[in-house]
Amino acid sequence: MKKVLNISSKTKLDLKKIIGKCIAVLGITGSGKTNTSAVILEEMLKYKYPMTIVDIDGEYWGLKEKFELLVVGKSKNVDIEVNVEHARQIAEMSISKNIPIILDMSGFLYEDIYEFLLNYMEVLWDLAGKFRKPYEIVLEEAHEFIPQGNRNDLKEIITRIALRGRKRGLGTIILSQRSAKVEKDVLTQSEILFLHKVVHPSDIRVYKEILPISSKEASILISKLNVGDCIFFFENVYNVIHVRKRDTFHAGFTPSLKAVKSPKLKVVSNEILKSLKSITKTKIKEKSEKDKLQSKIHKLEAQLAEKENYIQKLERDIETLGRISVEVKQPDISPIDKSLIEKLMVNGFNQDNSSEIPLVDENNIKENIEYDLLPENAKEHINKILKRINKLTKPKKEILKFLVNRHPQSYTYSEMAEWINYSESTLYKNQPNELLRMGIISRERKNNGFHYASNFDNFVKKEFKVYLTESDNGILDLIENYLKKQLQ
């Protein structure tokens, strides 16, 4: 029997078609966004679809009026109170036992929300690869966790789930009242969109970039949207629909003088509560604040010592280079560390022990010294970036090289084809989506199509933001110079 989601009187979705897809529900407060998400969840829950709802404001417990969900967190509406240290066990229980869970984060501090969700999402990602079954993740106020531009571990794991979760059965529902503040890679890769009314120019611009219609047509559509209306976009087809009213209690209603009767809620089974209570009894010893600060001090001291060592090494290298330049015509060479000589010389010393010294490749020396000066964690991150780039096809690498060299100009595929030794059709078949996701290049839609440009400087600052302080500016410059040379 076909499983259908009844979204509106005219809109039916095949449940099989949305498995593993990213769904975006966008719109200003009061536009009907929360109602739309509740309707989607009601339709999925009636088929006992397992899920996690990240509830920032404690508004989703009303779903328990008709469905059996476990509400955990810190508020008066939770079935059981949990802390950060329980995140991994709860995630494992939910996905392994198919238990729909609402994470009520309304009583947590932001730092605790971040840590809780990071641990929770990591477990879901890992176990989804093992179980490979349908599972939905609902994220309210998505712009808080996957913001445009900024980078952190939580954003990375959520973005990974949204973009690559399909093969593991993981689907996502992204909700936000500020679409312009949500990571663009996630929005542009969303296959199903419910676009409610927006008024901010930057949010309207996002809609215009998504919809396959002219800017003028999009403006007219958006301006005519009433409460509950949205532009439904799926399989490259758009329609204006009016989403049905939710069947369950809306805990996030706007307060009024009219009395509101709380609904009778479904009771979670004793077996589930028993499993959860056994989890919450587990106490994980946390570091005291003093221990955390002490650990940070030790880390900073180690980094400082590392930098001082690199400075001393550079001074020795410079001294050695000076000695070589003075003694280059003399028959005898004073003892110099062999490993250093191998680094400095292009071909090494002559094997016949003659007094002639090969020419020195000054650019190569400078490049090696610049790399040697970098902290180990920076080197490791650079190598990861280069490894990702090296996996790209040759046309994509040429696109990157061209744009970095031509910064800040932007180019279409046809314009790049005039400079790069590839046809326009080849470049189009090798669209640099990986580079866009990395943020190393940017894309802007104009009247004559998409224009691509280098975003290299911002990419380096974002990836290596730990070195943005004044004292570390030199390191950031070294990183940028070294990476640019490797891209050539």
List pLDDT tens digits, range 193-203: 999 999 999 99
Give the SS3 label for residue 71. strand
Q: Which long-range contacts (CB under 8 A, 24 or more apart) does 116-121 make?
A: 116/84, 116/87, 117/54, 117/87, 117/145, 117/154, 117/158, 118/153, 118/154, 118/157, 119/84, 119/87, 119/88, 119/91, 120/52, 120/87, 120/88, 120/90, 120/91, 121/91, 121/154, 121/157, 121/158, 121/161
Q: Which pLDDT band holds residue 336 (cuts at 50, 70, 90)?
A: very low
Domain limits, the chain? 4-280, 289-373, 378-487
Distance from C-alpha of 317 to C-alpha of 232, rounded to nearest angstrom? 64
User: Which alpha helices (DSSP H) does 110-183 contain, by range?
Assistant: 110-131, 153-164
The verdict on pTM exceeding 0.85 is no
More confident of the two residues 58 and 347: 58
Say if residue 485's pLDDT is above 50. yes
pLDDT value at residue 264: 60
CATH number at 378-487: 1.10.10.10
pLDDT value at residue 338: 47
Fold of 4-280: Rossmann fold (3.40.50)
Q: Residues 363-390: pLDDT tens digits? A: 554 556 567 777 888 888 888 899 989 9
In the chain, the amino acid numbered 450 is F
Given the structure tokens 């911002």, which residue do they identify? 458
